[in-house]
């Protein structure tokens, strides 16, 4: 659609974004971001002309989207498990598949920690998210399970700053630690539930070029893609409470390898959960303890 020499109307701007190859919803999000309006407003005002500066800003965002930048970076936010999270190129864009890991954690949490025998009340479960990025997993768990004491780590100080900003906006209090996997934590800290969505894409995987706008640190450990998962499982026995669970997200074809790592490290009750596409996307195990439920 052409719109002569003047600035386009909202409808015309959206149509030219679509002609550029943008998904209609992405175009609506981008224009809504420029105008600070929701999609209902856009639709009901679609014959309104854009101010020249807005038309220019929108066209620039459309070019970047067409060149492959994730929508979440362009609008600065992403939805995850019912929360709106701030995201920047310092963090991986939260994926709907990772909600599988959160759902599994929320299913297990009411069973943790193992109830002490007798009349003692249950303590607050200690939850850990290793490599938290935007904070998606840690914040979703803390939001849904207020009794949980959630600690989140990341190697990247810039990522931790994004996660902490998200926690502030959501009014959630978490503990934070910077460092590589378990090295972020004092040696004697133990957890009832450990969660991680580590980098797991193998070096040279054909999907990597399409993910070039996201931090490579969060996507690939290099090699066969299992390096970070190996490090997490290897360090876990020193940090698990008896009866605690370790749940890991991994690649669609890594479930058997991760199950093997968990079994070799001494975990029991090893199980998988499928993602939205039906791939076994998460694998977890229980650290042996006296209070099996
Ligand atoms: N699930 C992401 C993807 O395939 C990868 C995330 C990760 O490596 N942890 O795009």
Write the pLDDT tens digit of every residue in 86-126: 999 999 999 999 999 999 999 999 988 655 555 555 678 99
Residue located nearest, by CA, to atom 9 of ligand 1: 199
Handedness of CA 62, 65, 69, 75 (dihedral sign): positive
| pLDDT of amino acid 124 | 86
Q: Assess whether the C-beta atom of 197 lies below 6 angstroms from ligand 1.
A: yes
| pLDDT of amino acid 293 | 46
Q: Assess whether the C-beta atom of 250 lies below 6 angstroms from ligand 1.
A: no
Q: Is the pLDDT of residue 60 over 60?
A: yes
Q: Is the pLDDT of residue 57 over 90?
A: yes
H or E element at residue 234: helix 227-235
* Percentage of residues of the chain with pLDDT beyond 90: 89
Q: How far is the CA of 262 from the centre of ligand 1 (A)?
A: 20
Beta-bridge partner residues of 286: 245, 268
Q: Assess whether the C-beta atom of 200 lies below 6 angstroms from ligand 1.
A: yes
The answer to whether 153 touches 133, Cβ cutoff 8 Å, is: no
Burial pattern 236-267, b for ≥16 Cβ within 10 A else e, equals beebbbebbbbbbbbbeebbebbbebbeebeb
The pair of structure tokens assigned to 190 is: 């133990």
Beta-bridge partner residues of 9: 49
- pLDDT one-digit tens code per residue, 247-291: 999 999 999 999 999 999 999 999 999 999 999 999 999 999 865
pLDDT band at 70 (very low <50, low <70, confident <90, very high): very high
Q: What does residue 22 show for φ and ψ, rounded to 5 degrees? A: -75, 145
What does the mean pLDDT of the chain come to?
94
The pair of structure tokens assigned to 184 is: 């972020």
State which ligand 1 atom lies nearest to the alpha carbon of 201: 8
Mutate-to-test residue for ligand 1 from 219, 220, 251, 282, highest number of ligand atoms within 8 A of CB = 219
State which ligand 1 atom lies nearest to the alpha carbon of 92: 6
Helices (H), 84-236: 99-108, 136-144, 157-170, 216-219, 227-235
Q: How far is the CA of 199 from the centre of ligand 1 (A)?
A: 7
Q: Assess whether the C-beta atom of 230 lies below 6 angstroms from ligand 1.
A: no
Q: What does residue 238 show for φ and ψ, rounded to 5 degrees? A: -75, -10
Q: How far is the CA of 64 from the centre of ligand 1 (A)?
A: 22
Q: How far is the CA of 212 from the centre of ligand 1 (A)?
A: 12
User: What is the mean pLDDT of the segment spanning 166-194?
Assistant: 97
* Percentage of residues of the chain with pLDDT beyond 70: 94
- For the entire predicted model, the pTM comes to 0.93
Report the Cα–Cα distance between both ends of the chain, in Å, rounded.
64
Mutate-to-test residue for ligand 1 from 91, 200, 203, 277, highest number of ligand atoms within 8 A of CB = 200
> Which residue from 46, 50, 49 is spatially nearest to 60, judged by alpha carbons?
50
- pLDDT one-digit tens code per residue, 176-187: 999 999 999 999
Q: How far is the CA of 267 from the centre of ligand 1 (A)?
A: 24
Q: Find the angle CA(146)-CA(149)-CA(151) to the nearest 5 degrees.
A: 125
**Can you give the C-alpha Rg of the chain in angstroms?**
22
For residue 142, give Cα distances in angstroms to 20, 36, 99, 152, 252.
41, 29, 14, 11, 27
Q: How far is the CA of 159 from the centre of ligand 1 (A)?
A: 16
For residue 97, give Cα distances in angstroms to 35, 66, 124, 275.
30, 24, 27, 5
User: What is the mean pLDDT of the segment spanning 195-204?
Assistant: 97
Q: Is the pLDDT of residue 211 over 50?
A: yes
The answer to whether 213 touches 207, Cβ cutoff 8 Å, is: no
């Amino acid at each position: 659609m052409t719109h002569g020499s003047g600035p386009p109307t909202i409808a015309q701007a959206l149509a030219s974004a679509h002609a550029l190859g943008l998904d209609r919803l992405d175009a609506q999000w981008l224009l809504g971001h420029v105008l600070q309006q929701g999609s209902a407003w856009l639709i009901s005002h679609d014959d309104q002309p854009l101010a020249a500066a807005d038309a220019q800003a929108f066209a620039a965002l459309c070019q970047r989207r067409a060149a492959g930048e994730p929508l979440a970076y362009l609008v600065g936010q992403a939805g995850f498990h019912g929360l709106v999270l701030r995201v920047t190129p310092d963090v991986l864009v939260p994926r709907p598949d990772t909600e599988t890991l959160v759902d599994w954690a929320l299913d297990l949490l009411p069973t943790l920690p193992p109830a002490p025998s007798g009349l003692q009340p249950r303590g607050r479960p200690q939850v850990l998210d290793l490599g938290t990025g935007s904070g998606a997993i840690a914040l979703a768990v803390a939001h849904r399970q207020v009794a949980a004491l959630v600690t989140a780590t990341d190697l990247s100080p810039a990522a931790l700053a994004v996660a902490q900003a998200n926690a502030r906006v959501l009014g959630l209090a978490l503990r934070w630690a910077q460092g590589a996997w378990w090295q972020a934590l004092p040696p004697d800290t133990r957890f009832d539930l450990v969660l991680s969505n580590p980098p797991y894409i193998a070096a040279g995987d054909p999907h990597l070029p399409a993910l070039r706008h996201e931090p490579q640190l969060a996507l690939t450990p290099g090699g066969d893609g299992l390096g970070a998962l190996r490090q997490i499982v290897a360090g876990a026995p020193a940090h698990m409470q008896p009866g605690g669970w370790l749940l890991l997200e991994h690649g669609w074809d890594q479930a058997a390898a991760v199950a093997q790592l968990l079994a070799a490290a001494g975990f029991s009750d090893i199980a998988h959960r499928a993602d939205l596409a039906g791939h076994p996307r998460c694998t977890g195990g229980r650290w042996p303890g006296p209070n099996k439920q």
